[in-house]
Amino acid sequence: MGGSMTSRERVERAIRFEQPDRVPFNFWLDRRRMAELEAQHGPEFRVRHFGADVIESYACFPAFPMAEHAMRDGTSWMVRELFEDWREALALPMPDPNDPALYAQLDRHLAEFSDCAIIANSPNVLTIAELMKRQENLYVDMLTQPEEVAAMFDRISDVMAAVAENVCKRDITALYVQDDIAFNKGLLVSMDIARTFVFPNWRKVMDVAHAHGKPVFFHTDGKCDDIWEVLADELGVRMLNPLQPELQSIDEFKARYHGRMGIYGGIQTGRIHLMTPAEIRAHVRDLFDKAGAGGG
């Protein structure tokens, strides 16, 4: 892929809002296609075969209690919720964040790919709770059983904060907190609900990263411009993913946040599978022209 820097140097310069030798890249695909490429090219094929700059290390995610799920058409569907009443949830055992097995993959990545940027993935309360309860019921329960939901969220984020502590003691490039809080037209919950149930739990984990001097990446799908200020100014997020440009303006984001919060993404995830190769090239070039200069 060319360039005079290692992948790690390239990513670190970009997230410090300094100019790298080229724009660093990573990519994601349909999980079934990812499995096919892994079978063809081996693990970490994005780096080994395609020269990507980033490894997202997923395995340090504790095994929380889950609802019953079934796979259909490449997607996991919830068959039966884990519980009906959140008071039942408060008796559920939480996983051990100090289990050494949680960190085996991350340690292997750090040892084997020292020239790459290693970011440790850290799902948060919405992602984890939605493995236990259907999304629509979860949001209703925030209104009907607020104290119990808040208490369970606190238990979940305590575990994830302890995981973050263990992860951030290692030589990772960044902690990658993930929680979908938006859809194509805006936030899934009101700002009041987000401030009550969600933001404090994100902060608990992000503060651990900041205490260790690690930048924070954050993922949510959807139109999330209503919380840009919260992410940048209150939570100290450095890089936002995927920032879908069909839903919000890359130009506006760059103008408002360059030097504070950058873009890990910027591709039209909702329609890239419908584009021709020429359209994809033009789309990526347009993104580089709008957001590539000056790092970030």
The answer to whether 134 touches 191, Cβ cutoff 8 Å, is no
Q: Which structure tokens are listed for 61?
A: 């995610």
Residue 238 DSSP SS3: coil
Q: Does 43 reside within a domain?
A: no
Q: Does 156 reside within a domain?
A: yes
Q: Which structure tokens are listed for 122?
A: 């850290």
Q: Look up the domain containing 131 and give its range.
A: 53-278
- The secondary structure element, H or E, covering residue 153 is helix 146-168
Number of domains in the chain: 1
Q: Which structure tokens are listed for 113?
A: 């790919």
> Rounded to an integer, what distance in angstroms lies between the CA atom of residue 38 and that of residue 40?
5
Q: Does 85 reside within a domain?
A: yes
Q: Does 94 reside within a domain?
A: yes
Q: Does 22 reside within a domain?
A: no
Q: What is the pLDDT of residues 62-87, one digit of tens each?
A: 999 999 999 998 788 999 999 999 99
Q: Does 188 reside within a domain?
A: yes
CATH number, domain of 176, equals 3.20.20.210
Helices H / strands E in the chain, number of each: 13, 10
- The secondary structure element, H or E, covering residue 288 is helix 277-291
Q: Does 296 reside within a domain?
A: no
Phi/psi class of residue 270: alpha, beta or left (left: φ > 0; alpha: ψ in -120 to 50)? Answer: alpha
Q: Does 31 reside within a domain?
A: no
Going through the chain in order, the beta strands assigned E by DSSP cover: 54-57, 68-72, 75-80, 117-123, 174-178, 182-183, 186-187, 216-219, 239-241, 262-263
pLDDT class for 3, splitting at 50, 70, 90? low
Segment 190-211 shows an average pLDDT of: 98
- CB-count burial class (<10 Å; 0-12, 13-18, 19+) for 277: exposed
Segment 178-184 shows an average pLDDT of: 97
Segment 42-54 shows an average pLDDT of: 96
Q: What is the pLDDT of residues 27-45, one digit of tens each?
A: 988 888 999 999 999 999 9
